[in-house]
Amino acid sequence: MTFMENDPQKIATYTYELEPAEGNAQQETPLTLLVKRILETATYHAESWGVGYSSLIKGNQAWVLARLAVEMISYPRVYDKYVIETWIEGYNKHFSARNFCFRSPEGKIYGYARSIWSVIDIQSRASVDITTFRHIANNVSDKDCPIAPQSKIRPVNDENPAVYVVQYGDIDINRHVNSVKYIEHMLDKFPLDLYDKNFVRRFEINYVSEARYGNCLHFYREQLAEKIYAVEIRNESGDAICRGRIEFAERDREKI
Amino acid sequence: MTFMENDPQKIATYTYELEPAEGNAQQETPLTLLVKRILETATYHAESWGVGYSSLIKGNQAWVLARLAVEMISYPRVYDKYVIETWIEGYNKHFSARNFCFRSPEGKIYGYARSIWSVIDIQSRASVDITTFRHIANNVSDKDCPIAPQSKIRPVNDENPAVYVVQYGDIDINRHVNSVKYIEHMLDKFPLDLYDKNFVRRFEINYVSEARYGNCLHFYREQLAEKIYAVEIRNESGDAICRGRIEFAERDREKI
């Protein structure tokens, strides 16, 4: 359930509750659901000042998510209410930086996220100059987002990549694989037991190119350090589709 | 986004909007999202009169979905608002029948659904007598649900079943495969092209037993008639997990 603020404002606030049917095996908000909420609240906020999907599509333009970093202290549990605050940190011709804070209604911080977006012309795939958007200069907030910026994730080595053929349920309204589905498939490359003992403390993804229905995706996985992994998805031609970095942290033992 | 009615009432009404990031390849509400909304609104309504998840779990009890049938004339498209009405049609000791109507705010009918639920004791897995629930007798509505009841789906023959190993993202808060994930995997057994030319007019599922993390699921698929298929999911021991029936109908040619 969501309660939306109606007035356009620099920091938009949306409240959700984790329903039982949405919880994961650890009875927490799945990271994939959190990213869905990130996309959703970004859309709501952009709509509120006239640059959302519904406005841009009329000019054959669309927002494209380029990079995302999510860093969590803990995740909302079943029946926990959680508040998402989102604001624009800055922008230039090619990119807009939008941040997120996840907290309880009482102010307990769950975590933060940073996202980098571009706007493209859907036909030509050319980048659209974001600085020409009306109101954008008035919508930048200096609210603090105390997590490290997105990093550039390097190509990943793996001699035995897992293979997955893109299915009907992976495809979004643009006929590409849904941004969240890449994350779901990446996270599925790790065993349940790892999630029971650890939580995803930081997750990053760089979107490089698009996968389509029927593409045969290869998942390259490499351990970078203790509890830190990189996963690269490539298509059948070896082109990078996206690269993720997953950092696990041990759960408090007393909490289990 | 949801607007909930707060007062308990026989027919509960919840309003949603299809966000761009939620749409499928046909720019419509995915059947899987519709089923999520079915589970969610059933939970909201049960909570409103004190027999929701949060109340039952205190007595180690839980609602279990046994059967579902969804029949659609059309699906809400991106930015369409849709209203879900839900009500209890009847109940006996072992089962409660809950129905759903999907419509636009203006009253255009998208479709209907019928669901059959039981309540179990989580430890003993024994059925709990639903007739002992307070208020249930006052919460039955005689609103019409003009679709055929759920059918019992027979075992499915297939000499070459597809195989899928249950992943982390499939698992729900009870450590079983999420009810919606079975449906997603079933629908993924059909090609995108079929969904471009047709829509799912009627979908039924019977839940028989539970699959767990790491189970190797076999998908048996059989064509029953033109555009009508049955899919049965069995575990590695050959036990039925669930059985689905999918009826496609051709899209209006002028709409494509």
Dihedral, B64, B65, B66, B72 alpha carbons, nearest 10: 170
Please name which of B125, B135, B207, B212 lies closest in space to residue B166, comparing C-alpha atoms. Answer: B212
Mean pLDDT of B87-98: 96
Please name which of A119, A244, A98, A118 lies closest in space to residue A181, comparing C-alpha atoms. Answer: A244
Return the pLDDT at A3.
Answer: 45
Give per-residue pLDDT as tens, A205-247. 999 999 999 999 999 999 999 999 999 999 999 999 999 999 9
Residues B33, B17: Cα–Cα separation, whole Å: 12
Return the pLDDT at A256.
Answer: 47
Residues B7, A251: Cα–Cα separation, whole Å: 39
Dihedral, B212, B213, B216, B220 alpha carbons, nearest 10: 50
B4 has pLDDT over 80: no
Mean pLDDT of chain B: 93
Residues B24, B168: Cα–Cα separation, whole Å: 23
Which tokens in the block code for residue B28?
A: 């419509």
Minimum CA–CA partner of A25 in chain B = B173
Give per-residue pLDDT as tens, A140-168. 999 999 999 999 899 999 999 999 999 99
Nearest-Cα distance to chain B for A236, in Å, is 19
Beta carbons of B23 and A173 less than 8 Å apart: yes
Residues A112, A101: Cα–Cα separation, whole Å: 4
CB contacts of B187 in chain A (<8 Å) are 168-169
Q: Please tell me the least confidently modeled range out of A73-87, B2-16, B36-50, B185-199.
A: B2-16
Question: What are residue A165's DSSP bridge partners?
Answer: A216
Return the pLDDT at A6.
Answer: 45
Which tokens in the block code for residue A105?
A: 């209604």
Contacting B with CB below 8 Å, chain A residues are: 1-2, 4, 19-25, 27, 30, 32, 36, 39-40, 43-44, 53-54, 78-79, 167-169, 171-173, 175, 178-180, 184, 187-188, 190-192, 195, 213-214
Mean pLDDT of chain A: 93
B6 has pLDDT over 80: no
Residues B110, B16: Cα–Cα separation, whole Å: 13
Quickly state the pLDDT bin for B49 (edges 50, 70, 90): confident
Return the pLDDT at A53.
Answer: 86
Beta carbons of A173 and B32 less than 8 Å apart: no
Quickly state the pLDDT bin for B8 (edges 50, 70, 90): low
Q: Which pTM was predicted?
A: 0.94
